[in-house]
Structure 1
Amino acid sequence: MNFKELETVVLNRDLPEHRLRQGDLGAVVHVYEPDGLEVEFVSASGKTEALVTLKSSDVRAVADGDLVAVRRLDRSA
């Protein structure tokens, strides 16, 4: 799938090295051709928690049936 900058995406897999879990929401901040994305993940208060380079297969578009939730970020790791 082709993503655009500033598009909200859903993480498809856990990234424990960044304390991210499948289902976390991120924003595409840069598109690298042919298949790379720079995605920013932020806390509910707006603080950047992770800026990660991913493949487009690592994320998916937000769907109408998705429900947004909040979880605590484990900062001890």
Structure 2
Amino acid sequence: MNFPLYSDIILLRDLPEEGVYAGDIGTVVAQHDVSGLETGYSVEFFDMLGNTVAVVTLPMSCFRLPTRADIPTVR
């Protein structure tokens, strides 16, 4: 599965050094294809005021697409 550019994703693991945690919603800003490796994505995470919290690049197995069952929350 590939994530389209500018699609929302859900982070599946904590990245405390980046200030983002499993369940946080981000936006795909770039796709990185390297032969023989899992596809990677750069994802930008924002606060509720639209300020960038972090931009991380991780393999696609660290994200999933949102479902109808997902509800944004505040931590």
**TM score, norm. by length of structure 2:** 0.90
What is the percent sequence identity of the aligned residues? 41
**Structure 2 alignment gaps of length 5 or more:** none
SS in 2 for 1:13: coil
For residues 62 and 41 of structure 1, what CA distance do their matches in structure 2 show? 15
Task: Report the aligned-residue RMSD.
Answer: 0.9
State whether structure 2 residue 30 is matched by structure 1 residue 65: no
Structure 1: which 4+ aligned runs deviate by more than 3 Å?
A: none
Q: 1:26-59 CA distances to partner (integer Å, 9 max, x unpaired)?
A: 0000011150100000000000010000110000
Deviation at 1:62, TM superposition (A): 0.4
Aligned length: 71
Shift of 1:70: 2.0
Q: Tell me if 1:2 matches 2:6.
A: no
Alignment of 1:1-77 (within 5 A): 1-34=1-34, 35-71=39-75
Give the Cα separation in 2 of the matches to 1:6 and 1:33.
Answer: 17
